[in-house]
């Protein structure tokens, strides 16, 4: 049994859905559960319409709703023709759009949007896409069966980013999915959407369909989770920054999670954890080129010194200096508690006896953080820094790699440097404008090619 998840671009229009149908046809004997996203761009459009309605722009919101209706009904006609089944689906989709229009009117009267009502609206994209994909599969002779994602993905009530409840999901999967699979059917459900135990609609947060796929995969002990998207897989670096990037055919879970934290858009970091815990391999495939090898993510890929080079900008370095206090037991804990209290997550840390340097991505609460850190000593804040990381599970064991990395970056000023104890990444903090050249030099060093 496998999970085959198709992202928004893999169900964007009739042609994409037809490709998806062919891919599912190719794996029917592996007993797939199909998870789909909304048609590309729909979730954004839904959220925009909700916000417009709540801020007094009802006419614009309704125009958005009608544009979405036209798009979905157009896809239904193109894929399914105008027979009875197509008309049924079109009628059901239209009803959802009528509901959406009513919700928009209600929001414009209320003048505000709650996270709970936003979930009702933003989850409509998957409620609309899943029936279309199911019908397209059936039309192609595949015994597909629509399952409401809310029957399976049981969550708490943190609207907008609900927390899944694994035990309840496992029980729901046994009840709603397993019998279909045993009966030779292909269950199809929308990702991203969930419901509380009492049945109120929730969502898992943006990009949440991958999370759905991996949670269901974990719950059902799937053999594999396939994430079908519009890129070939994970790459050795961001192709917009580096020339001559290579496809990573096999990568370890921890390395992939590390890359995801650098904004490798292909995979949501949370996708990783439920599957990791069960040792289920996750594959990334390109639905535009289904014959490609894709990227396989497992526990046990060989430990290479360098698997990929990642980078990001807009990093803030916070330094605390205090000869007296930092030597005291518990000082670091107290410093980290300041970040925790202010909901600011720390990325990279380097310490000495008299100072500690940390980086953060998100400076929303930085003023409060800095004010509270002053209790420990002198605090300085450096903005406009960047991080470049060399990611590879074998890095910690390879002194030649580290020497080569430091040689490759040449005379670029390093503000911080950190090697994680697990040896999975060497992290360099540089000036923001050096991120690109440093990535290029490192990539040329370890993957060949010329630095641009
Ligand atoms: N449609 C949702 C979003 O755009 C979930 C997903 O595609 O993963 O965030
Ligand atoms: Mg998506």
Ligand nearest to the CA of 207: 1
Secondary structure of the chain in HEC code, one letter for each residue: CEEEEECHHHHCCHHHHHHHHHHHHHCHHHCEEEEECCCCCHHHHHHHHHHHHHCCCHHHHHHHHHHHHHHHHHHHHHHHCCCHHHHHHHHHHHHHHHHHHHHHHHHHHHCCCCHHHHHHHHCHHHHHHHHHHHHHHHHCCCCEEECCHHHHCEECCCCCCCCECHHHHHHHHHHHCHHHHHCCCEEEEECCEEEECCCCEEECCCCHHHHHHHHHHHHCCCCEEEEEECCCCCECCCCCCCCCCCECCEEEHHHHHHHHHCCCCCCCHHHHHHHHHHCCCEEEEECCCCCCCCEEEECCCCCCCCCEEEEEEEEEEEEEECCCHHHCCCHHHHHHHHHHHCCCCEEEEEECCCEEEEEECCCCCHHHHHHHHHHHCEEEEEEEEEEEEEECCCHHHCHHHHHHHHHHCCCCCCCEEEECCCCCEEEEEEEHHHHHHHHHHHHHHHHCCCCC
Closest atom of ligand 1 to 208 CA is 8
User: What integer pLDDT is reported at residue 231 of this predicted model?
Assistant: 92
Distance CA 438, CA 388 (A): 7
Q: What residues are in contact with ligand 1 under a 6 Å CB criterion?
A: 7-8, 37-38, 43, 125, 191-192, 206-210
CA of 365 to the centre of ligand 1 (A): 27
Ion ligand 2 neighbours (CB, 5 A) are 7-8, 37
The domain ranges of the chain are 2-230
Tokens 């053999």 correspond to: 223
pLDDT digits (tens, 9 = 90+) for 361-395: 888 899 999 999 999 999 999 999 999 999 999 99
Pocket test for ligand 1, best of 6, 35, 43 (most atoms within 8 A of CB): 43
Length of the chain: 452
Closest atom of ligand 1 to 204 CA is 5
CA of 126 to the centre of ligand 1 (A): 8
User: What integer pLDDT is reported at residue 436 of this predicted model?
Assistant: 96
CA of 170 to the centre of ligand 1 (A): 22
Pocket test for ligand 1, best of 10, 48, 125 (most atoms within 8 A of CB): 125
Closest atom of ligand 1 to 206 CA is 9
CA of 44 to the centre of ligand 1 (A): 9
pLDDT digits (tens, 9 = 90+) for 318-374: 999 987 777 788 888 999 999 999 999 898 999 888 899 999 988 889 999 999 999
CA of 249 to the centre of ligand 2 (A): 22
Ligand nearest to the CA of 265: 2
Residue owning the nearest CA to atom 5 of ligand 1: 207
User: What integer pLDDT is reported at residue 260 of this predicted model?
Assistant: 80
Pocket test for ligand 1, best of 37, 39, 44, 271 (most atoms within 8 A of CB): 37
Residue owning the nearest CA to atom 8 of ligand 1: 207
**Residues 2-230, CATH architecture:** 3-Layer(aba) Sandwich (3.40)
CA of 73 to the centre of ligand 1 (A): 20
CA of 192 to the centre of ligand 1 (A): 6
User: What integer pLDDT is reported at residue 268 of this predicted model?
Assistant: 66
Ligand nearest to the CA of 44: 1
- What percent of the chain is predicted at pLDDT more than 90? 82
CA of 271 to the centre of ligand 1 (A): 13
Closest atom of ligand 1 to 8 CA is 7
Give, for all 452 residues of the chain, the pLDDT tens digit: 999 999 999 999 999 999 999 999 999 999 999 999 999 999 999 999 999 999 999 999 999 999 999 999 999 999 999 899 999 999 999 999 999 999 999 999 999 999 999 999 999 999 999 999 999 999 999 999 999 999 999 999 999 999 999 999 999 999 999 999 999 999 999 999 999 999 999 999 998 999 999 999 999 999 999 999 999 999 999 999 999 999 999 999 888 888 887 866 777 656 767 887 788 999 999 999 999 999 999 888 899 999 999 999 999 999 999 877 777 888 889 999 999 999 998 989 998 888 999 999 888 899 999 999 999 999 999 999 999 999 999 998 888 999 999 999 999 999 999 887 677 889 999 999 999 999 999 999 999 866 55
Closest atom of ligand 1 to 210 CA is 8
* CA-wise closest residue to 339 among 313, 312, 315, 373: 373
CA of 10 to the centre of ligand 2 (A): 9
Residue owning the nearest CA to atom 6 of ligand 1: 207
Closest atom of ligand 1 to 207 CA is 8
Pocket test for ligand 1, best of 38, 124, 194 (most atoms within 8 A of CB): 38
Pocket test for ligand 1, best of 127, 205, 209 (most atoms within 8 A of CB): 209
CA of 391 to the centre of ligand 2 (A): 26
Residue owning the nearest CA to atom 2 of ligand 1: 207
CA of 237 to the centre of ligand 2 (A): 21
pLDDT digits (tens, 9 = 90+) for 205-232: 998 999 999 999 999 999 999 999 999 9
């Amino acid at each position: 049994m496998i999970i085959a998840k198709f992202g928004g671009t893999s169900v964007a229009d009739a042609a994409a859905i037809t490709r998806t149908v062919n891919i599912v046809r190719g794996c029917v004997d592996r007993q797939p559960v199909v998870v789909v996203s909304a048609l590309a761009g729909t979730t954004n459009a839904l959220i925009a319409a909700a916000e417009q309605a709540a801020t007094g722009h009802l006419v614009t919101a309704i125009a958005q709703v009608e544009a979405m209706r036209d798009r979905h009904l157009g896809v239904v006609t193109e894929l399914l023709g105008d027979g009875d089944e197509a008309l049924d689906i079109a009628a059901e989709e239209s009803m959802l759009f009528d509901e959406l229009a009513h919700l928009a009117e209600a929001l414009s009267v209320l003048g505000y949007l709650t996270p709970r009502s936003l979930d009702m609206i933003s989850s409509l994209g998957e409620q609309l896409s899943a029936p279309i994909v199911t019908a397209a599969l059936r039309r192609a002779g595949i015994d597909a069966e629509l399952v409401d994602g809310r029957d399976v993905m049981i969550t708490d009530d943190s609207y907008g980013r609900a927390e899944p409840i694994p035990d309840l999901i496992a029980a729901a999967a046994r009840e709603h999915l397993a019998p279909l699979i045993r009966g030779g059917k292909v269950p199809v459900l929308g990702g991203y959407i969930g419901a509380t135990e009492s049945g109120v609609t929730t969502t898992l947060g943006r990009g949440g369909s991958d999370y759905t796929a991996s949670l269901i995969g974990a719950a059902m002990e799937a053999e594999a989770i396939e994430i079908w998207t519009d890129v070939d897989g994970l790459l050795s670096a961001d192709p917009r920054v580096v020339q001559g990037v290579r496809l990573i055919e096999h990568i370890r879970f921890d390395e992939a999670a590390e890359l995801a934290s650098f904004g490798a858009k292909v995979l949501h970091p949370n996708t990783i954890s439920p599957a990791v815990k069960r040792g289920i391999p996750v594959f990334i495939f390109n639905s535009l080129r289904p014959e490609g090898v894709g990227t396989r993510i497992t526990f046990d890929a060989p430990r290479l010194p360098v698997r990929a080079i990642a980078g990001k900008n807009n990093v803030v370095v916070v330094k605390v200096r205090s000869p007296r206090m930092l030597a005291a037991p518990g000082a670091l804990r107290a410093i980290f508690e300041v970040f925790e209290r202010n909901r600011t997550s720390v990325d990279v840390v380097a310490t000495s006896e008299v100072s500690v340097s940390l980086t953060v991505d998100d400076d929303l609460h930085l003023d409060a953080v800095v004010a509270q850190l002053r209790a420990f000593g002198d605090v300085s804040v450096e903005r406009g820094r960047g991080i470049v990381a060399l990611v590879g599970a074998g890095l910690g064991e390879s002194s030649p790699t580290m020497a080569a990395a430091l040689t490759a970056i040449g005379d670029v000023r390093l503000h911080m440097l950190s090697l994680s104890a697990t040896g999975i990444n060497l992290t360099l903090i540089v000036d923001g404008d050096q991120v690109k050249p440093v990535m290029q030099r490192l990539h040329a060093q370890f993957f060949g090619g010329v630095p641009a």
